Amino acid sequence: MTRFVLRRIGLALITLVLLSVLVFIGTQLLPGDVGRRILGPFATQEAVDVLNARLGTDRPLLVQYWDWITSAVTGDLGFSISFSRPVTELLGRALVNSLKLGALAFVIVVPLSLLGGIVAALKRGTFIDRIITVGGLSATVIPEFVSGIVLIVVFAVFLGWLPGFATAPPGSGFFTQLRHLILPAIPLVLVLFGYIARITRAGVIEALDADYTRTAILKGLPRSTVIRRDVLRNALLPTIAVIASQVGYLIGGLVVVEVLFGYQGVGKLLFDAARNADFPLLASGVLVVGASFQVSMLLADVAYSWLNPRIRIS
């Protein structure tokens, strides 16, 4: 078990180093002259040179990369050009906001999609199964901003039941914040629902067809006992890993949802950074997103192997 965890951590670290190189290439090498890209074609060469000197982008690439990575490891993620604030401070605040929205989406979607997947599997081939499968597939593929717009038009503009703007006034209590986050959470729920329900359905069907289930039924155990004790216990394990792996998707979905609903989270922050060619913020932000994804995958793998004794040996 310890060896498995250590190996898994090692792989995550290698992946992160590779990612940092890719991000560095994307934000320092691809733009060519970083200062020119930020200031635009009409700025004087002197101004571009001054900015490059201030950003340190006139130094050799390897020095820049080493400097960026060593500071990042110690928690200094650089200085945002467009916000004139330390990146660490900006990202910290944005992460808290995104976490609230993401957590709400998960709290809604996990029980809902597990239930949907189980019902679809138990009623395999029936009309209910088709509704859940095709409906779930359709919900998954519709972009978040499309469902988000329909929600805003119906519930915020015409019915006026819920605010169409995600940011609650400063100092609002828990329930006011929650009210503002309900509409933005639903597009994320819709996309995740189809995916998790689909994996759950597949897992339950596999367990239903397994020999141990047949044995249990032939032993004369009641169907509900078999389903609870044999089928669900085996089927829901892989689903845990799938749910955790959706954290990566969630961060991508947050970009669109946070922009649409005007919410100051990580997604909106990265969007602003990309729009304003704020490369220090963009580079560190993407690195933090990658790191959070690796951590959640790591936790999922460890939890999965801890719950499933069969995988521990390898």
**Where do contacts with other proteins occur on this chain (CB under 8 A)?**
11, 14-16, 18-19, 22-23, 26-27, 30-31, 37, 134, 137-138, 140-146, 149-150, 152-153, 156-158, 164, 248-249, 251-253, 255-256, 259-260, 270-271, 273-275, 277, 279, 282, 286, 289-290, 293-294, 297
Nearest CA-CA partner of 287 in 5, 40, 31, 75: 75
Distance CA 182, CA 191 (A): 15
Minimum CB distance to other proteins, residue 50 (Å): 21
Nearest to other proteins of 247, 307 (CB atom): 247
Nearest to other proteins of 43, 142 (CB atom): 142
Please count the residues of the chain: 314
Minimum CB distance to other proteins, residue 89 (Å): 21
Minimum CB distance to other proteins, residue 225 (Å): 33
Minimum CB distance to other proteins, residue 179 (Å): 17
Distance CA 270, CA 10 (A): 28
Nearest to other proteins of 234, 296 (CB atom): 296
Minimum CB distance to other proteins, residue 138 (Å): 5
Nearest to other proteins of 213, 246 (CB atom): 246
Nearest to other proteins of 58, 217 (CB atom): 58
**Cβ(117)–Cβ(129) under 8 Å?**
no
Burial of 248 from C-beta contacts in 10 A (0-12 / 13-18 / 19+): middle
Distance CA 172, CA 168 (A): 6
* Residue that is written with structure tokens 């200085």 in the block: 79
Nearest to other proteins of 6, 22 (CB atom): 22
In SS3 terms, 85-129 reads as: CEHHHHHHHHHHHHHHHHHHHHHHHHHHHHHHHHHHHHCCCCHHH
Distance CA 12, CA 190 (A): 30
Minimum CB distance to other proteins, residue 155 (Å): 12
**Cβ(213)–Cβ(207) under 8 Å?**
yes
